[in-house]
């Protein structure tokens, strides 16, 4: 659906989708530490989230980029046949949950159960924000022809 967009727009949309999860989790962690949402307070949390989430996001990047550059029918057909991509994505999610839990145990000085709960809730919210952005982008791209004059 985005294949008709200029390449720079596709890259910007991909970057927005990939940065949404670390940013939303950084906001949650900043608020949990009572640091507020100022740029200066968010910077260390955002940097830590980018560092922690990069391996998992890199594992998901073939899916995101595939959906942005190739028609959905081809990407979905490929993903249905490829158990390796699904398994790699599942391992990336488990690794990310483990890394976030260990990070929270050190950063907030809490036990493993509490850290796991906070990490799972934060990552779920990050996935919801990223999925919401992806769905709204898809909606806008589907209906862009209705918004453009003369189309």
What pLDDT does residue 20 have? Answer: 84
Sketch the domain layout of the chain as residue ranges. Answer: 2-147
Contacts of 11 (CB under 8 A, 6+ apart): none
> 20: closest CA among 43, 53, 44?
53
Quick one: how far is CA 68 from the chain centroid?
A: 14
| Confidence category of residue 69, pLDDT binned at 50, 70, 90 | low
What pLDDT does residue 101 have? Answer: 93
What pLDDT does residue 52 have? Answer: 86
**Per residue in 112-140, pLDDT tens?**
999 999 889 888 888 888 878 877 877 77
E strand residue ranges, the chain:
none
What pLDDT does residue 64 have? Answer: 65
Length of the chain: 151
Query: pTM (2 decimals)?
Result: 0.71
């Amino acid at each position: 659906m985005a294949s008709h967009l200029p390449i720079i727009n596709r890259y910007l949309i991909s970057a927005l989708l990939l940065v949404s999860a670390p940013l939303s989790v950084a906001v949650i962690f900043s608020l949990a530490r009572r640091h507020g949402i100022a740029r200066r307070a968010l910077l260390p949390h955002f940097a830590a989230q980018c560092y922690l989430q990069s391996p998992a996001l890199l594992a998901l990047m073939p899916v995101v980029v595939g959906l942005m550059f190739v028609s959905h029918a081809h990407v979905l057909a490929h993903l249905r046949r490829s158990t390796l991509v699904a398994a790699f994505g599942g391992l990336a999610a488990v690794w990310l949950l483990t890394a976030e839990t260990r990070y929270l145990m050190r950063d907030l000085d809490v036990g493993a159960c509490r850290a796991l709960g906070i990490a799972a809730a934060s990552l779920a919210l990050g996935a919801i924000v990223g999925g919401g952005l992806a769905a709204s982008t898809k909606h806008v791209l589907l209906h862009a022809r209705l918004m453009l004059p003369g189309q």
